[in-house]
Amino acid sequence: MADPAETLAQQATERAVDLLISAVDINEIIGLVELNAVLSRIDLNALLARADINALMTQVDINALLARLDLNALLARVDMNTLLDQVDVNDLVRRVDVEGLVRNTDLGAVIATSTGGVATEVLDVARSQAVGLDQLVNRWVRRLLRQEPGPDVPPALLRPQAAVTSAEAAS
Amino acid sequence: MSAGASPADMVSYQSHYAGAVSRFAAYAVDVVVVTVAFELVLAGTSYCVQIVTGHHVSWNRTGVVVAVLLAVWQFVYFAYSWAVGGRTPGMALMGVRVVRADGTTLDPLHAILRALVFPLNFLLAGLPFLVILVQRERRGVADLIAGSAVIYSWDARSARLRFLARQPEVAADGRPPDLAVPGPGSTG
């Protein structure tokens, strides 16, 4: 059985602590603390190095987070024109593998159906054959005359990149 | 024997100086068009004269009048075609075009000059035509005088896409796709 005097002392102490806490103004104490000075003494890098980010991330419910995200509101705040102004559409189109698209998708069938008339096919073949024969004759003439290759394209029709290359080769 | 240009190279020849074969083929087509049109006009004229006057008119093909008319008709045909679009029907068929020597569009004045000096190509049994073979920019005598050049101008990219689009159909026949449709470089 506990000593009545000890019990009384404990109750008196608890009461005194309650009175003390109720008398203390926490806001005033926080106001006295120089938070910037405290924060400047904290090495955040060291703190983050000790933190297990992966473990932290496993606890995050991404689905719940995304469910709370209002994508429409977010997109409404995005200025698409500014965004598109920064996109080089020409470069984007150049990077599209059109030949791959034609070869591997139904686009090829569409082109074949819409433009694949007999006349077109005959014309393509005739022109292709003529170009091939031109190259053959040119090669043989150059070989016979021991001629250096001349320019392939008139100056005004040189593509910008080809023009730069030609200029560099000439200089 | 392969001429060396694969189907993939087709696009890269666009705007290049056209060779003698393409140009001669275009000219051959033009000769047929010019001759057929001329004969039709002569026949039409004879028919109309016969209806109106009742007299039968026959043209002396070796006569001076017909020769002059043919020369004028050929000049008009070539000069007008080059001045308007830089190409005759034959050139359009073979996908070649006349431009200024620097690659800019041929103006009417140079088109007329080219048409005037064009017959020089056929003097001395066509020897001047061979200049096209040896000249580095494939320019003939008429081109050198008129300050012009002939380039490939057909839509090779579309032709390449059509070639690719046809490949699956050909492959279904069991033949290798690359051999099924002749490319621009395969000459037999």
Lowest mean pLDDT among A144-158, B22-36, B61-75, B159-173: B159-173
Closest CA to A134 of B150, B21, B153, B136: B21
As a whole number, mean pLDDT of residues A150-163 equals 71
**pTM > 0.80: yes or no:** no
Per-residue pLDDT at A6: 87
Q: Does B185 score more than 50 pLDDT?
A: no
Q: Which of B1, B22, B149 sits opposite A131 (nearest CB)?
A: B22
What sign does the CA torsion over B100, B90, B61, B126 have?
Answer: positive
Q: Supply φ then ψ for residue B105, to 5 degrees.
A: -65, 140
Is the pLDDT at A170 greater than 80? The verdict is no
Domain ranges of chain B: 17-166
pLDDT higher than threshold 70 for residue B42: yes
* CA neighbours closer than 13 Å in the CB half-sphere of residue A8: 3
Query: Average pLDDT over chain B, rounded to whole?
Result: 81
Q: Is any Cβ of chain A less than 8 angstroms from the Cβ of B171?
A: no
Is it the case that residue A162 has pLDDT exceeding 80? no
Confidence label for B33 from pLDDT (cuts 50, 70 and 90): very high
**Nearest 5°: CA angle at A38, between A33 and A42?**
160
What does the pLDDT read at residue A115?
A: 62
Strands B148-152 and B96-100: antiparallel
Apex B58 CA angle, B52 and B59, nearest 5? 120
Query: Which residues 3-62 of B have a C-beta within 8 angstroms of A?
Result: 3-5, 7, 10, 13, 15-22, 25
- Residues B83-140: tens digit of each pLDDT: 998 999 999 999 899 999 998 999 999 999 999 998 888 777 777 778 888 888 888 8
Separation CA A135–CA B2 (nearest Å): 10
ipTM of the complex: 0.73
Phi, psi at B82, each rounded to 5°: -70, -35
Per-residue pLDDT tens digits for A3-43: 888 888 899 999 988 888 888 887 888 788 888 888 888 88
Q: Across the interface, do A153 and B102 touch by the CB < 8 Å criterion?
A: no
Distance of alpha carbon B149 from alpha carbon A8, whole angstroms: 118
- A155: number of Cβ within 10 Å: 12
